[in-house]
Amino acid sequence: MLYDDGLVIWDSIAIGEYLNELAPGAGLWPADRAQRARARSISAEMHAGFAALRGNLPMDLCADKSGHVATPEALADARRIFEIWRDALAASGGPFLFGGFTIADAMFAPVTTRFTTYGVELDAVCRGYVDAIAALPAMQAWRHDAAAEPVTRS
């Protein structure tokens, strides 16, 4: 959730669009119209899709669940994500999906942590992207803060 001067925004794409409007020069979407449309498309696909991956590989920043066996449906979702990443990185040259960090990368950042947590096999291109996201100071702070949270069992 984003709280800004009494306004509450709870949807991740709406948060990204709001931040883009607050800081239009920050490059939160690619400057090129076609690339911006592509970034919005893959962001929306991440936002609305990949239910099997989300359900079978729940996010846990601090765990090592590399022995977990993913379902075929979750692996199919992972393959689609890898395809998105490879296509975008090939077009942009990286290190992020559209060269510099954009809202599209923010949308995929939680998935990168799932692949790390569950030891999902990555090719060199996808490993480089996961590593680039993990190296961001904000991601390191997120992981640090998650490690400091008390563990609750249901």
| Tens-place pLDDT, residues 3-59 | 999 999 999 999 999 999 999 999 999 999 999 999 999 999 999 999 999 999 999
Per the structure, the count of domains in the chain is 1
Task: Quote the tokens at residue 66.
Answer: 């590399």
For residue 72, give the amino acid letter: P
Which CATH number characterizes residue 83's domain? 1.20.1050.10
- 10 Å Cβ neighbour count for 116? 21
Q: Are 30 and 20 in contact (CB under 8 A)?
A: no
For residue 59, give the amino acid letter: M
Within a domain: 23: no
Q: What is the dihedral of CA 36, 13, 114, 95, to 10 degrees?
A: 30
- DSSP-derived letter for residue 9 is E
Q: Which domain holds residue 72?
A: 30-148
pLDDT digits (tens, 9 = 90+) for 50-103: 999 999 999 998 889 999 999 999 999 999 999 999 999 999 999 999 999 999
Within a domain: 22: no
Within a domain: 54: yes
Give the global pTM: 0.92
Within a domain: 25: no
Within a domain: 9: no
